[in-house]
Amino acid sequence: MAVIKKFLYVNRKAPHGSIFALESLEVVLIGAAFDQDVALAFIDDGVYQLMRNQDTSGIGTKNFSATYKALGDYDISKIYVEKESLDLRGLSKDNLMPLTWEDEDDDWAEKDSIQVVSSTELAEIIDNQDVIFSF
Amino acid sequence: MKFGIMVSAGPYTHQASDTAYYFTEAALKNGHEIVRVFFYHDGVNNGTSLGVPPQDDRNITTRWSALAEKYDLDMVLCVAAAQRRGLLDENEAKRAGKDVSNMAAGFNISGLGQLIDAGIQADRLLVFGD
Amino acid sequence: MTILHIINKSPFEKNSLDTCLRLAKRGSAILLIEDGIYAAQKNTAVGNKLAAAAATHSLYALAPDLDARGIGKDKIIDGISLVDYDGFVQLTTETSGVQSWL
C-alpha cells in the first residue's frame, strides 16, 4: 500500500495579471489523479482567484475560473480561504464562487468545499503538510 | 534524505534559479539524493541551449547541464509550460512543425505528473521561484 | 517537528514577511534568502517585527545573500543565525517540510 501524503497548494497571487493561478490549477488537476490527500489554500491576493463573475472576454485570455467549480469532481473537497486575507480586501465568502463536492460516505450529499479559516487555523494546517507547492 | 526541487523562475531575471542550483549542489555534496529538479512556469527557460550570456557572467544553463552530468540528475521541463514558452526538444519540435529544437544537454521534457511524483518520492520538496 | 518557512522577498516591496509571520506556527523556523535578507537588518521599519518573532520562532538568514548585498553581520538583528548553503540543506533535514513565501 502506497503511503498517502498531504499535499497543499498555496495560492497567493491574483489571476489574469500573471500566469501563476492558471499554472497552479493545471498542477492541481494533474495531481488529482495521484490519489494523495490534497488541499488548496487561498491567501493574500490568491483569494481573488475565487471571485464570482470573472469575464476575460475583453482581455483575450482564457477564463479558467469555471475550472475551480470542477474541483469537486476531482475529489478535491478541502479549499481553505484565509479570513484575514478576505477582511483586508473588504471581501466575504459571498463574493466567492460557490464550490461544492459530493460526499460518497454521506449518500452523495452536496457539501461546501470552501472553508474560511483564521490565520491560526491555517498556520496549523500548513504546518501539518508533507508537500507544499507554492505559487 | 531525498529532495525534490521545483524551479519556477527563469534564469538571470531572478536569483531563484541560482539559489536552487546552489541548494541542489550542496545537497548532493552532503550525500543527499535529488529525486528530480522540475522546471515550471518561466523556470523552463533554464533549459534553453540558445542562451549566450556574456563571457564574464555565469552560464546558468550549462551549469545545470554539468551538474546533471556529474551526478546523473533527473532534470525535467514541464511540457505544457515549455511549449507555451518556446522550449522544444527534437521530438516536440518535429511534432509542432518547427525547424529548430533548443533543449540543452541533461534536460528532458515531460508532464506535470513528474512534479507530483517528485513530491511523493522525496522526503522534502522545495520551491524556488519569484 | 515543525516546517521551515522561506522568505525571498524584500519586506519593503512585498507582503511575504507579514503573511509568513501571520501563518508560521509558533516554534517553526524562518529562513531569509535572496531579497528576503533585507528584513534581517536592525533599525529598519520592519526590524521590530523580526525582533519579536525571534522570541517565538527560530530565525535564520543565508549569509552569501547578506554578503552580496553589503549587509554586515553586525547589522543583523540579535537572534538571527546565519547559515551557508550547507546549513540551508541541514535546516531542511531538521524540519518536517518547507513552505516558500514567494
At residue A76, the pLDDT reads 96
Q: Does B19 touch chain C (CB under 8 A)?
A: yes
Average pLDDT over residues A58-75: 95
Confidence of residue A43 (pLDDT cuts 50, 70, 90): very high
Q: What is the CATH number of the domain that holds B22?
A: 3.40.1260.10
Cell of B44: 523552463
Catalytic hit among B60, B78, B87, B103: B78
Which helix (DSSP H) or strand (DSSP E) does residue B93 occupy?
helix B90-95
B116 is catalytic: no
For residues A1 and A47, which has the higher predicted lDDT (pLDDT)?
Answer: A47
User: Three-state SS for C38?
Assistant: helix
Strands of B1-130, DSSP E: 2-7, 33-39, 75-78, 107-110, 124-128
pLDDT digits (tens, 9 = 90+) for C27-86: 999 999 999 999 999 999 999 999 999 999 999 999 999 999 999 999 999 999 999 999
Chains with 3+ CB–CB pairs under 8 A to C are A, B
Mutate which: A5, A126, A135, vs C, most C CBs within 10 A: A126
Q: For chain C, count helices (H), then strands (E).
A: 4, 5
C87, C64, C61: which is closest to C76 by C-alpha? Answer: C61
Confidence of residue A3 (pLDDT cuts 50, 70, 90): confident
Could you write out the three-class secondary structure of chain A? CCCCCEEEEEECCCCCCCCHHHHHHHHHHHHHHHCCEEEEEECHHHHHHHECCCCCCCCCCCCCHHHHHCHHHHCCCCEEEEHHHHHHCCCCHHHECCCEEEEHHHCCEEEECEEEECHHHHHHHHHCCCEEEEC
β-bridge mates for residue B110, sequence order: B78
* Number of folded domains that form chain B: 1
With beta carbons under 8 A apart, name residues in chain A contacting C100. 132, 134
Query: Within 10 A of B75 (CB to CB), how many other CB atoms are there?
Result: 23
With beta carbons under 8 A apart, name residues in chain C contacting B25. 85
The CATH architecture annotation of domain A6-134 reads 3-Layer(aba) Sandwich (3.40)
Interchain contact, B15 vs C85, CB within 8 Å: no
User: Three-state SS for C59?
Assistant: strand
Q: How far is C99 from chain A (nearest CA, A)?
A: 6
Considering only the beta carbons, identify the residue of B30, B129, B130 that sits closest to C89: B30
Collect all residues from A whose CB is shorter than 8 A from any CB in B: 2, 5, 7, 19-20, 23, 26-27, 30-31, 33-34, 36, 130-135
Mutate which: B15, B17, B34, vs C, most C CBs within 10 A: B15
User: Three-state SS for B27?
Assistant: helix
Chains with 3+ CB–CB pairs under 8 A to B are A, C
Rounded to 5 degrees, what are φ and ψ at A17?
Answer: -70, -25
Task: Number of A to C CB contacts under 8 A, please give it.
Answer: 43
At residue B97, the pLDDT reads 95
Q: Does C43 touch chain B (CB under 8 A)?
A: no
With beta carbons under 8 A apart, name residues in chain C contacting B16. 8, 34
Residue C94 has pLDDT above 60, yes or no: yes
At residue A2, the pLDDT reads 73
Residue C69 DSSP label: T
Residues in Cβ contact with A114 at an 8 Å cutoff, skipping those fewer than 6 apart: A50, A79, A81, A93, A96, A98, A99
> Which structural domain range is residue C69 located in?
4-101
At residue C1, the pLDDT reads 85
| Cα separation of the two ends of chain C | 23
Nearest residue of B to residue C96 by CA position?
Answer: B124
pLDDT digits (tens, 9 = 90+) for A118-133: 999 999 999 999 999 9
Per-residue pLDDT of chain B (130 residues; tens, 9 = 90+): 999 999 999 999 999 999 999 999 999 999 999 999 999 999 999 999 999 999 999 999 999 999 999 999 999 999 999 999 999 999 999 999 999 999 999 999 999 999 999 999 999 999 999 9
Residue B98 DSSP label: -
Q: How far is CA B18 from CA A128, B21, B80, C68, C96, in A?
A: 29, 5, 23, 13, 24
Residue A49 has pLDDT above 90, yes or no: yes
A44, A51, A46, A10: which is closest to A27 by C-alpha? Answer: A10
* Number of folded domains that form chain C: 1
Residue B104 DSSP label: P
Separation between Cα atoms, residue B83 and residue B20, nearest integer Å = 23
Rounded to 5 degrees, what are φ and ψ at C33?
Answer: -130, 170
Interchain contact, B119 vs A133, CB within 8 Å: yes
Nearest residue of A to residue C29 by CA position?
Answer: A127
> Which structural domain range is residue B121 located in?
2-50+58-128
Separation between Cα atoms, residue B33 and residue B79, nearest integer Å = 24
Q: Does B33 touch chain C (CB under 8 A)?
A: no
At residue B21, the pLDDT reads 98
Q: How far is A57 from chain C (nearest CA, A)?
A: 29
Average pLDDT over residues A35-59: 97
For residues A3 and C28, which has the higher predicted lDDT (pLDDT)?
Answer: C28
Residue A10 has pLDDT above 90, yes or no: yes
Collect all residues from C whose CB is shorter than 8 A from any CB in A: 2-3, 15, 19, 22-25, 28, 96-102
Pairing of strands C4-7, B124-128: unpaired
At residue A1, the pLDDT reads 53
Q: What is the CATH number of the domain that holds C39?
A: 3.40.1260.10
